[in-house]
Structure 1
Amino acid sequence: MAHHVSGLGISPTSMDPRSHITDLYVFQKPGDDNKTILVMNINPYSPITADAVDPESVYEFGVDTDADAVIDIAFRMRFSPVEADSQTASVHLATGQRAAADLNAGETIIKDAPVTFGAQPHITTAGDVRFFGGLRSDPFFADPVGAGNNFQWTGEDFFVDKNVFGIVLEVPNTMLGSNPKVGVWARVLVPHDGRLVQGDRAGRPGIDNNFNQSVEDKRVWNQQEPAKDRELFLDKFTGVFEHVGGYSRDQAAILAASLLPDLVPYDYSSADGYPNGRNLTDDVINLGIAQVTNGAVPHDGLRPHTDLRSDFPFLGTPH
């Protein structure tokens, strides 16, 4: 199904659910076509406590501005330890060649923003940038029980009462570069053997869970950067399209190549939604299943959650 179950438990660097990405969303801000909203939801087991995010990890939105699947712009979030039932976050912006290579590069654009543990969101604004971090209702909707039973849909949305830890940024489009067509992905860098390494990643919805069949493939996938995707996974993705959807080899190869490298393609001059970025209400699971199965599976009948906010940070009140 979705990215909710991708890297968790696959390796020592992805055992902690606080370092696990559930979904990535990228969309034009409603009512303001000069702004973009970036949402990274983490921790599918987020409790209503102060223990939902890891202060030793780095959470990052990566932006590729020149279609080489390498980070040219990075927004990096770091969280303080929880003290006296409070926690803060800082956001750093790195650009250019050092954006991908140096985790300490760049400038601080948000400092000591309060993290939200309760129902009322605490929002921090600095210039044209807004930040939110905290417990929220999970906007993802799907029927994983039905999917696991040969697509015999139950009609039940498993995620309707679930929470996540949401990391939300509002940035001016100018921060994403002069070319409106970019690629966006998210990753979590976790401490391992005295250094920070990539423990989980997210781009298009459902890619890892639907296409990577073995534990080893999932481990390699979640610890590599998108620039290596076609070299290491194009043939395997092609095989999934052939086997599941009955596509010819040539058709399957074209479809597989369209998904790799795994970044969310986004034109910030457009509000169209998936596959241009991803809105919180986009029915990505049914679209993905239809593509993989060559249209053989009926719609699951589910609809977007009704508890979304109409304003920043857009994610609903936690349950």
Structure 2
Amino acid sequence: MTGKMGWIRGVATVAIAAMTFTMVSPKVFASDHREAPTVDGIPEGDLTDVYVFTDPNDSTRCVLIMNVNPFSNSSEAASYAFSPDLLYQFKIDNTGDAKEDLVIQAVFDQAGQSQTASIYGPALPTTTGARNTLLSSAPTATGKFGTVFGTSGAVQAYFGLRDDPFVFDFAQFNRILNNTQDLFRQVGTFRGRPVRTDGTSGVDSFAGFNVTSLVVSVPKSMLRGSSSKINVWATVSSRVPTRQGAKTYQQFERQGQQAFATIFIPKGAARDAENFEIPEHDVANYSALIPDALTTVDNDGSGNTIAGRAAVLTSLGLTALPNGAPLLLPASFNNPSKDLLRIALLPDVLRFDLDLDPSNPAIGQFGLQNGRTLSFSSIDVPLQLLRQLSDVHFPSGIPGGGSLGSRVALDCSGFNPPTTTCTDRRVNVVLQGTQFIKPDSTIANYVTVGNDQPFLTTFPYVANPAPLPGEPGTIGYPPQQ
């Protein structure tokens, strides 16, 4: 990079580093697929994703989904099921204190796909926190693997093999971090995938893989509390040996928002510790890991505002195709609070407004999104928000380059091109704001994303499992460009 354009291009590259925060090893950035040491050895207890949304066929009902068994190979489809030794739970906070007021529990009677599930709740939990007891009431629904069961007017459920709805160009992500590629899409001299004839350049690394899904549909009236807003997260717990055969379980895995742990929590023991923890402790435990948000006022006298960040990105052509995705937030987005990201991300739960129009993603209103639908672009949208909102300490003369003072910001103050650049390759991952998995003709609507198998229009909504290799519908990777 030389001259003024090189300087601007370099500054924008560093600016977008804000999106990545403390993102760690590329081997674990895959929503929550294989994200921590403990669950890496327990695939039946490894939560990949959690979804909460209004039933598209009945606005009075809420659908909750948890997926386990990441990277399930369709050639070995018959080997995947839930574990009879584990307790699977949806936890619902309807009073706003990040402590479960209701639980939906699922247990399974045997290993393998001949198993029967017993669904309990929604009901008041016997105990709250990381150690839980199976509800003593009768199951609200029971059924077999691969079938829809329960009562249409009350609790309905399904569990079985499904196509993984998570969409991410994980292979190119790794190439960028390993410095064999620079961007998701080639721009100028920067290495990246070329545009194909269908207007895409990305490859969904999860296409063709399955997960094991537990899907529960309940009337919203069963979940409602003091307001229309609820917090939802999922947990998996292992049986604790006790006297007299009490059915007590200890949590070892949890998930709320997609990719929270993999972005913000260092890998290894810290990731396990987060999985063992409970949401009511998240603000105290993890606030320091999240930087300040940009606001509509100048934080440091250098033009370090939401509008200033948008201007830098726009000046480089990174907010228009074919080189990048449009800005998700307008430059005039009003945010008076430097704690916006902490408020949106902590505690680590899915926030869901039972009364909000299902077509409204509610980005930034009271969380990262309103619940999470199957078609929600769960990678591009969060990165877009962080690209525009995270505070970064830049060199003098660049927005954010003023005195650091009491700001909590990413430190890029040593950036001095052309001799000194940011060596963290994660900057390049987020430069364009999209993976270009969708055709350019539809990329303007990146709040939603496609899937390798079509989602069902009726319950349980998750797409049918990927077919055996060679059968109709098989998903193959395009040749590496």
Aligned pair 1:29/2:64, yes or no? Answer: no
Q: Which moved more, 1:197-206 or 1:18-27?
A: 197-206
Letter in 2 for 1:234: S
Q: Deviations over 1:46-92 (max 9, x none)?
A: 34114431110011100000110000010000011147x51110001
Letter in 1 for 2:115: Q
Shift of residue 40, structure 1, vs aligned partner = 0.5
Shift of residue 292, structure 1, vs aligned partner = 3.0
TM-score scaled by structure 1?
0.87
1:232-243 alignment runs, 5 A limit: 232-238=285-291
Shift of residue 192, structure 1, vs aligned partner = 5.9
Shift of residue 253, structure 1, vs aligned partner = 4.2
Which structure has the greater CA radius of gyration? 2
Relative to structure 1, the CA distance from residue 169 to residue 210 in structure 2 (aligned partners, 3 Å threshold; closer, same or farther) is same
Aligned to 2:397: none
Q: Deviations over 1:88-139 (max 9, x none)?
A: 10001153463526422353343431012xxxxx100224211000000111
Contact 1:71–1:99 (CA under 8 A) maintained in structure 2: no
Aligned pair 1:65/2:94, yes or no? Answer: yes
Contact 2:106–2:117 (CA under 8 A) maintained in structure 1: yes
Structure 2 distance, partners of 1:3, 1:107, is: 34
Aligned pair 1:311/2:458, yes or no? Answer: yes
SS class of match (1:5): coil
Q: Which moved more, 1:104-113 or 1:194-203?
A: 104-113
Q: Deviations over 1:200-226 (max 9, x none)?
A: 111111111111123122111111010
Shift of residue 191, structure 1, vs aligned partner = 3.4
Aligned pair 1:44/2:70, yes or no? Answer: yes
Aligned length: 306
SS class of match (2:171): helix
Structure 2 distance, partners of 1:311, 1:25, is: 16
Structure 2 distance, partners of 1:285, 1:230, is: 23
Aligned to 2:377: 283
Structure 1 distance, partners of 2:305, 2:386, is: 9
Q: Which moved more, 1:230-239 or 1:308-317?
A: 230-239
Shift of residue 316, structure 1, vs aligned partner = 1.2
TM-score scaled by structure 2?
0.59
Structure 2 distance, partners of 1:88, 1:273, is: 35
Relative to structure 1, the CA distance from residue 247 to residue 20 in structure 2 (aligned partners, 3 Å threshold; closer, same or farther) is farther
Letter in 1 for 2:270: D
Structure 1 distance, partners of 2:361, 2:139, is: 27
Contact 2:455–2:463 (CA under 8 A) maintained in structure 1: yes
More strand by share: 1
Aligned to 1:292: 386
Aligned to 2:342: 256
Aligned to 2:183: 152
Aligned to 2:9: none
Match of 1:89 among 117, 137, 143: 117
Letter in 2 for 1:267: D
Structure 1 distance, partners of 2:221, 2:82, is: 29
SS class of match (1:49): helix
Aligned to 1:119: none
1:128-167 alignment runs, 5 A limit: 128-148=154-174, 149-150=176-177, 152-153=183-184, 154=193, 155-167=202-214
Structure 1 distance, partners of 2:293, 2:254, is: 21
Match of 2:275 among 222, 246, 255: 222
Aligned to 1:104: 134
Letter in 2 for 1:294: Q
SS class of match (2:161): strand
Structure 2 distance, partners of 1:82, 1:240, is: 47
Contact 1:73–1:96 (CA under 8 A) maintained in structure 2: yes
Aligned to 1:3: 31
Structure 2 distance, partners of 1:202, 1:86, is: 27
Contact 1:99–1:105 (CA under 8 A) maintained in structure 2: no
Contact 1:7–1:222 (CA under 8 A) maintained in structure 2: no
Letter in 2 for 1:220: A
Q: Which moved more, 1:299-308 or 1:69-78?
A: 299-308
Q: Which moved more, 1:188-197 or 1:151-160?
A: 188-197
Structure 2 distance, partners of 1:96, 1:265, is: 20
Aligned to 1:55: 84
Match of 1:181 among 226, 229, 233: 229
Relative to structure 1, the CA distance from residue 251 to residue 213 in structure 2 (aligned partners, 3 Å threshold; closer, same or farther) is farther
Relative to structure 1, the CA distance from residue 106 to residue 173 in structure 2 (aligned partners, 3 Å threshold; closer, same or farther) is farther
Contact 1:2–1:285 (CA under 8 A) maintained in structure 2: no
Shift of residue 307, structure 1, vs aligned partner = 1.6
Aligned to 1:301: 436
Letter in 2 for 1:105: L
Structure 2 distance, partners of 1:56, 1:269, is: 37
Structure 2 distance, partners of 1:200, 1:312, is: 26
Shift of residue 6, structure 1, vs aligned partner = 5.2
Q: Deviations over 1:131-180 (max 9, x none)?
A: 00000011111112223324722510011111000000010001102432
SS class of match (1:310): coil
Structure 2 distance, partners of 1:267, 1:82, is: 36
Shift of residue 247, structure 1, vs aligned partner = 9.0
Match of 1:113 among 134, 137, 143: 143
Match of 2:105 among 57, 62, 76: 76
Aligned to 2:325: none
Q: Which moved more, 1:138-147 or 1:89-98?
A: 89-98
Match of 1:171 among 197, 205, 218: 218
